[in-house]
Structure 1
Amino acid sequence: MKINFKSFFIILIGSLLVAIGTYFFLAPSHIAAGGISGAAIIINSIFPSMPIGALMMAMELVLFTTGILVIGPVFGGKTVFCSFSISGMILLLERLFPNIRPLSNDMLIQLIFGVLICGVGMAIVFNQNASTGGTDIIAKIINKYFKISIGRSILIADVTVTIAASITFGIDKGLYAILGVIANSTLIDNVIKSLNTYKQVAIISNAGEQIKDYIVDTLERSATIYYAKGAYNNNEREVITTVISNKQFLNLKEYIKNIDGKAFITVNEVNEVVGEGFADFI
């Protein structure tokens, strides 16, 4: 099996964001906004001698084994890597910054920044067909078999943790935890959507050959050619269609502008592209 080192590097970045958001913002304020990290925060508040990172590692063992068996070895392997990366990073942060206190006295500020940082990190991980471990594995299983979005699946999976947070930390912090879970699930869905947004472009130009060469050779994307007849003068014209990233579209538009300022371009936003050169079938 070929190892995609780029994918693992991206997962590592997502893991770092989750670790930072959890340790510096959620944990010090006892905001258990769902997930294994939330459960670890609850247990740590009851038994302070038990490190959050070690608790997360222990609880993840059972769930990532389930992930390997139910979803597959690729997902399982990436999830193992991600979950232990997060736990290890939090253990390291606990050594570097022991007895961390809330950065702000405003719990809502702590919640917002914690959820923003963790949510972006989790979305990056999910977009690589992995999870951060724990209840996110349950969410991935729900997503696979019930076709519910990842964000909503996380919301379903984290209800138990938020209820436990209400019992352990009081109704106020429990409500903050529920707010955090809702915000987190919404953020994850939107970040994943933005990461998978592409432009579907149709081009009619007198410089068609140059544009095709630019798309294939410079942008390293394929294109489809078909012919259409104009309603005004009945002339048959070549239409070039391609699907490219937002950054590639800006480059393509600038290139076309320089060689044919009268070219006709239509653009549609595509929320998901599956196939060679894009996302894999999962």
Structure 2
Amino acid sequence: MENRKGSVMGTIRWLSYDIAGAFLYAAGVHCFTSAHHIAPGGVTGISIIINYLTGIPIGILVLLINIPLLLIGLKFLGRRFTVRTLISVAILTFFLDYVVVKLPVYTGNTLLASLFGGVVMGAGLAIVFMGGSTTGGTDIVTKLLLQKHPYLQMGRIIFIIDLIIISASTIVYKSIDSALYAIIAMFTTARVIDALLYGLDIGKLVLVISEKSDEISQRIIHDLDRGVTLLKAAGGYSGKQQNVVMCAVRNSEYVKLKQLAHSIDPKSFVIVTSTSEVRGEGFKPIKEDN
């Protein structure tokens, strides 16, 4: 009984995410991008271009393009993925053709349209992804290609596909500006998705190599209120044993840590790398994302 209840609640949850995300994504397409001849890659970009040439509703085109892709992918991607994706695409089609068409269209500056379109579309896609669904399209093509050629890089595949679509939009709209605005919209969408999915708790992972590692670690703990891990290490040339200080901090705290290390040991060696997500005490809580 509890398992069935949990299954029902899970279904309601991902449907809720799908509905909310599809509405936002459709609003971004209708209110901002399609009205300004911006085709920001993917199946939606193809649909916007075909809609401009034929007048066929964008939502129907999204559905018609996705169905053969889903049928091809059914064997390789599994029944559950295919069914959920089809439902997500159907919801998106409904919003594109029957709901958001009643919303006002922004007719102002095209740059603002590409930026705000990217923000709204990115927010919509992020919500869909949070619910464990996908809007299909290039995701399916990418997964199928990776099944056959696992050595390929996913980001590169998506980039090439989107580049072809954006190039086509340049020819159809007879404007290089359309392609440039599409790139802006794509970039904005990607950034918003990353921010919502991985949070704004991005930061720096800092490694400090110093003979005064113990003193530096204590100062970090007391002055910055950050946890520290001491890694056992040995110099490759000297063979000398010493500790390496490892610490995760927010971007705003990195400068303080660097100054602190330098003030204690001007000869300290600091290595820093950006992190897309930090979880644990002082950052986002560690929990399983469903």
**Scaled by the length of structure 1, what TM-score is found?**
0.62
Change (3 A) 1:6 1:172: same
Q: What is the CA-CA distance between 1:130 and the residue it aligns to?
A: 1.8
Aligned to 1:122: 125
Aligned to 1:279: 289
Change (3 A) 1:268 1:124: same
Q: What is the CA-CA distance between 1:94 and the residue it aligns to?
A: 6.6
Kindly indicate whether the alpha-carbon contact (under 8 Å) linking 2:13 and 2:131 is maintained by their aligned counterparts in 1. no
1:54-73 alignment, distance < 5 Å: 54-73=60-79
1:92-103 alignment, distance < 5 Å: 92-93=98-99, 96=102, 102-103=105-106
Any unmatched runs of 5+ in structure 2?
Answer: 203-279
Kindly indicate whether the alpha-carbon contact (under 8 Å) linking 1:196 and 1:272 is maintained by their aligned counterparts in 2. no
Kindly indicate whether the alpha-carbon contact (under 8 Å) linking 1:115 and 1:184 is maintained by their aligned counterparts in 2. yes
Per-residue CA deviations over 1:27-77 (Å, capped at 9, x if unaligned) read 1111101121111111111112x1212211111111223443333222222
Instruction: Report whether the alignment pairs 1:188 with 2:193.
Output: yes
Q: Distance in 2 between matches of 1:75 and 1:271?
A: 29
Q: Distance in 1 between matches of 2:146 and 2:177?
A: 30
Q: Distance in 2 between matches of 1:156 and 1:187?
A: 21
Change (3 A) 1:108 1:160: same
Aligned to 1:269: 283
Change (3 A) 1:131 1:271: farther
Secondary structure of the residue aligned to 1:267 is: coil
Change (3 A) 1:70 1:128: farther
Kindly indicate whether the alpha-carbon contact (under 8 Å) linking 1:23 and 1:93 is maintained by their aligned counterparts in 2. no
Kindly indicate whether the alpha-carbon contact (under 8 Å) linking 2:36 and 2:107 is maintained by their aligned counterparts in 1. no
Q: Distance in 2 between matches of 1:193 and 1:153?
A: 22
Q: Distance in 2 between matches of 1:84 and 1:27?
A: 19
Kindly indicate whether the alpha-carbon contact (under 8 Å) linking 1:193 and 1:271 is maintained by their aligned counterparts in 2. no
Q: What is the CA-CA distance between 1:25 and the residue it aligns to?
A: 0.9
Change (3 A) 1:173 1:95: closer
Runs of 4+ in 1 over 4 A off after TM superposition: 139-149, 151-154, 270-273
Which amino acid letter does the alignment assign opposite residue 84 of structure 2? K
CA RMSD of aligned residues (A): 3.2
1:128-277 alignment, distance < 5 Å: 128-139=131-142, 154-169=158-173, 170-194=175-199, 267-269=281-283
Instruction: Report whether the alignment pairs 1:44 with 2:58.
Output: no
Q: Report the number of matched residues.
A: 203
- Counterpart of 2:113 (choices 110, 113, 116) is 110
Aligned to 1:85: 91
Q: What is the CA-CA distance between 1:127 and the residue it aligns to?
A: 2.8
Any unmatched runs of 5+ in structure 1?
Answer: 198-265
Which amino acid letter does the alignment assign opposite residue 88 of structure 1? F
Q: What is the CA-CA distance between 1:141 and the residue it aligns to?
A: 5.6
Which amino acid letter does the alignment assign opposite residue 68 of structure 1? L
Secondary structure of the residue aligned to 1:131 is: coil
Secondary structure of the residue aligned to 1:279 is: coil
Q: What is the CA-CA distance between 1:140 and the residue it aligns to?
A: 5.4
Q: What is the CA-CA distance between 1:271 and the residue it aligns to?
A: 8.8
Identity level (%): 28
Per-residue CA deviations over 1:72-123 (Å, capped at 9, x if unaligned) read 22222221111111111111037646xx6x4132001111111101111111
Q: What is the CA-CA distance between 1:193 and the residue it aligns to?
A: 0.8
Which amino acid letter does the alignment assign opposite residue 180 of structure 1? A
Q: Distance in 2 between matches of 1:91 and 1:164?
A: 24
